[in-house]
């Protein structure tokens, strides 16, 4: 994985939900690749982190899964966003925007004072 940082705690669910909203149903490998691609390849997504997160999101009712065939005709589990997942994505997006605005106040330009 080199020197790429791990995904920050609490952000993976948001990234998964947003990716599913944008791309539609995806299998795990496709989700991982898309999240890494969207980060400009600055993140390395560990599958040992992704699959438990997908299971948790499914148990919470934010995503659903069904078996299908991947692009190379292999059996794969595809994940899709539910209505509850859409609501959770909206709420989490608002929470993270507020958090980053607050952090920006602390980490922003210190010469403004």
- Let me know if residue 71 belongs to a domain: yes
Residues 4-55: tens digit of each pLDDT: 666 666 789 999 999 999 999 999 999 999 999 999 999 888 888 899 999 9
Where on the phi/psi map is residue 15: left (φ > 0), alpha (ψ -120 to 50), or beta?
Answer: alpha
In a domain, 3, yes or no: no
Give 90-99 pLDDT, tens digit per residue: 999 999 999 9
Q: Which helix (H) or strand (E) holds 94?
A: helix 83-107
Range of the domain at 103: 12-112
Say how many domains are in the chain: 1
Q: What angle do CA 87, 52, 100 make, to 5 degrees?
A: 50
- Any domain includes 1: no
List the structure tokens of 27: 């299998």
Report the CATH number that the domain containing residue 87 is assigned in CATH. Answer: 1.10.10.10
């Amino acid at each position: 994985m080199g020197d790429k940082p791990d995904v920050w705690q609490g952000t993976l669910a948001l990234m998964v939900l947003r990716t599913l909203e944008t791309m539609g149903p995806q299998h795990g490998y496709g989700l991982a690749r898309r999240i890494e691609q969207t980060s400009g390849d600055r993140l390395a997504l560990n599958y040992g982190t992704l699959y438990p997160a997908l299971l948790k999101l499914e148990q919470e009712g934010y995503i659903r899964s069904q078996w299908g065939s991947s692009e190379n005709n292999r059996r794969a589990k595809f994940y899709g966003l539910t209505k509850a997942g859409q609501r959770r994505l909206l709420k989490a997006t608002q929470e993270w925007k507020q958090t980053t605005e607050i952090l920006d106040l602390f980490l922003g330009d210190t010469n403004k004072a």
